[in-house]
Amino acid sequence: MLLCLCECGASHLSYTISEEVNKGTLLANIAKDLNVDVQELEDRDLNILSSNSKKYFDVNLGTGDIFVNDRIDREELCSNTERCSLRIQAVLLNPMVVHRIEVNVLDINDNSPDFNENLYFLNISESVSPGERFLLPVAEDADMGNYAVKSYKLDKNQHFSLDVQSTGEDGLSAELVLEKALDREKECSCCHSLPMYGGELWWQCAVLNGPAEICCEIFFCTPSHQL
């Protein structure tokens, strides 16, 4: 009998909001969506409950507005999934009715892609034949979907090209491909930028003479990120 009282008249509502919106941002008016009088919300002591440690949403009993009560960070909530949602409950008393609410959290481009290392060395023997491939580190980006890293690009040069392959789930692999044999007896240097679409990053490569091998220094540079 108690279960019936709790579930009777309950509904399932779904809303969408972007992460990192300001506190106080309106999510929805629950009085309107439930088709109840605002005074009834106060009389029946409407409360917004959640299993999360943070109270992300609260309600204004005078208006029925559900608003953002705490910072919503999608990467903190759903670090490795493209779809992210918060489940909350709007509970009315006398009689008790629990309305389930799902809030879909949209990603914004609020994270800069970054490399684990700022400097990466490749020691390449001059005897290596053209066509040889060298796997490069790739950037990590906490953002997902449309805001994840989409590609890498290498400026044209006589020694190297870049082969970028999709690994699925927004993942990419990048290989440096030797196009022209290297000669350590010749003074050889190059500097190539690699803009990364989905984030403002680039690599610089310098090929230098060495006693036995040619050292390729790859610099990973991340400028200041702007929202």
- Take residue 152 and report the two structure tokens written for it: 């890498």
On whether both 136 and 55 belong to a single domain, the answer is no
The per-residue pLDDT for 170 is 58
On whether both 140 and 213 belong to a single domain, the answer is yes
Tell me: pLDDT of 112 over 80: no
Residue 131: which pLDDT band, with cuts at 50, 70 and 90? very high
pLDDT > 70: percent of the chain: 73
Could you tell me the strand order of the sheet in which 65-68 lies?
26-29, 65-68, 57-60
The per-residue pLDDT for 65 is 97
Tell me: pLDDT of 105 over 60: yes
User: Quick one: how far is CA 129 from the chain centroid?
Assistant: 39
Q: How many domains does the chain have?
A: 2
On whether both 83 and 152 belong to a single domain, the answer is no
The per-residue pLDDT for 169 is 65
- Take residue 2 and report the two structure tokens written for it: 């108690």
From 73, 106, 139, give the residue that closes a domain: 106
- Residue 111 within a domain: no
The per-residue pLDDT for 184 is 63
- Residue 112 within a domain: no
Q: Residue 30 in contact with residue 59, Cβ under 8 Å?
A: yes
Tell me the pLDDT tens digit for each residue of 156-214: 778 888 888 887 765 788 888 988 887 766 634 444 444 444 433 344 444 443 333 34
For the full predicted model, state whether its pTM sits above 0.85: no
Higher pLDDT, 58 or 109: 58
| pLDDT mean over 61-90 | 92
From 45, 78, 106, give the residue that closes a domain: 106
Domain extent for 188: 119-221
On whether both 137 and 209 belong to a single domain, the answer is yes
Q: What are phi and psi of 43, to 5 degrees?
A: -65, -35
On whether both 129 and 213 belong to a single domain, the answer is yes
Does residue 198 come out as left (phi exceeding 0), alpha (psi in the -120 to 50 range) or beta?
Answer: left
- Residue 12 within a domain: yes
On whether both 95 and 62 belong to a single domain, the answer is yes
CATH number at residue 144: 2.60.40.60
On whether both 138 and 176 belong to a single domain, the answer is yes
Burial of 182 (0-12, 13-18, 19+ CB in 10 A): buried
Question: CA nearest 37: which of 64, 12, 19?
Answer: 64
Number of other CB atoms surrounding residue 67 within 10 Å:
18
Omega of the bond leading into 137 within 30 degrees of 0 (cis): no
- Residue 207 within a domain: yes
